Amino acid sequence: MATVWVTGSADGIGRQIARDLIAGGHRVLLHARDGDRAAVASAGAPGAAGVVVGDLTSLAEIRALAAATTGFAPFDAVVHNAGVLESGRRERPVTADGLERTFSVNVAAPYLLTALMPVPARLVYLSTEMHRSGRPDLDDPQWERRRYDGDRAYSDSKLMVTALAVALAGMHPRTRSNAVNPGWVRSRMGGPGAPVSLAAGAETPVRLAVGDEPATGSYFTGGRIQPAHRLATDPGFQAAVLALCEKVTGTALSA
């Protein structure tokens, strides 16, 4: 039996991943952004070990969230599933910390949680094929000078988190750290017309969290390892992303 934490597990693919892990006999900690969503998460994944609450648009809440998980640790795996897509949005959404919201949830949060928590044997970061369209401007990562594009911000964030997953594999050789594209999943984010079921989308993240998959530093799509965007495996880009996250959060990753 493995102990696994799944972020963003109140609905969608996060909830499906949690359900599948529980059905497999594993001990699962849920996560929701507030108390109301926590109740939804608990009702949606019966048998979970508990639920921790924290809004990933707040650096202070991310820190408190990391502290709240200690009562359930150590973890064998952490699945960084939580994410946000501001599709079609042209007005920059800003958090209380002054960060662009997509960056805060999709990049800063998994980075800071990883930095603050003991490194588990497995790290799984949810990515997307949209990471291939990413063209991050690391001189303007918060979209303060450019015209805002919510879809572009999402692609950029997923390229950065894919690079984070690969970088961590190099920093922690004993940890299997991978990025996963679950496909265009029928969820609140993906919409009812998406071609991939929640069950199918959850298969690879679950396998990477508790299965025998030996890969690390890889990008999975369709259940198989595929080449990621070239920048995801570029040491210079990885270092730049880590430096940006360290600057924004005030916390460094330790090797």
Q: How far is it, in rounded angstroms, from Cα 90 to Cα 149?
A: 5
Which CATH code, of 3.40.50.620, 3.40.50.720, 3.50.50.60, 3.40.50.2020, is assigned to 3-249? 3.40.50.720
Query: Which is it for the CA torsion 240, 242, 247, 248, positive or negative?
Result: positive
Cβ contacts of 26 within 8 Å, gap of 6 or more: 1, 2, 3, 4, 210
H/E segment holding residue 179:
strand 176-181
Quote the pLDDT of residue 192.
Answer: 77
pLDDT in tens, 124-175: 999 999 999 999 999 999 999 999 999 999 999 999 999 999 999 999 999 9
pLDDT at 115 over 80: yes
Residue 195 reports pLDDT greater than 80: no
Can 158 be counted among the known catalytic residues? yes
Please enumerate in sequence order all residues whose Cβ is within 8 A of that of 70, keeping only pairs 6 or more positions apart, or say none: none
Q: Tell me which residue of 142, 141, 145, 220 sits closest to 176, measured CA to CA.
A: 220
- Whole-angstrom CA distances from 35 to 154, 228, 255 are 26, 37, 34
% of the chain at pLDDT higher than 90? 93
Mean pLDDT throughout 91-102? 97
Q: Is the pLDDT of residue 188 over 90?
A: no
What is the dihedral angle through the alpha carbons of 133, 135, 140, 146, rounded to the nearest 10 degrees? -60
Query: Which of 111, 125, 148, 158 is the catalytic position?
Result: 158
Residue 193 has pLDDT above 90, yes or no: no
How confident is the prediction for the chain on average, in pLDDT? 96
Q: Take residue 127 and report the two structure tokens written for it.
A: 């990515």
pLDDT band at 183 (very low <50, low <70, confident <90, very high): confident
- pLDDT of 164: 98
Q: Please say if the pLDDT value at position 57 is more than 90.
A: yes
User: Could you tell me the two tokens for 13?
Assistant: 């693919």
> Which pLDDT value is given to residue 31?
98
Our answer to whether residue 247 is catalytic in this structure is no
What pTM value is reported for the model?
0.97
186 pLDDT above the threshold of 90: no
* Whether the predicted pLDDT of 43 surpasses 80: yes
pLDDT at 69 over 90: yes
Residue among 111, 125, 148, 154 flagged as catalytic: 154
Reduce the DSSP state of residue 147 to 3 states and report it. coil
Domain boundaries, the chain: 3-249
pLDDT category of residue 244 using cuts at 50, 70 and 90: very high
Residue 161, CA atoms < 13 Å, CB-side half-sphere: 37
Nearest to 121 by CA among 14, 235, 216: 216
For 67, the enclosing helix (H) or strand (E) is helix 59-68
CA 255 to CA 249: how far, in whole Å?
17
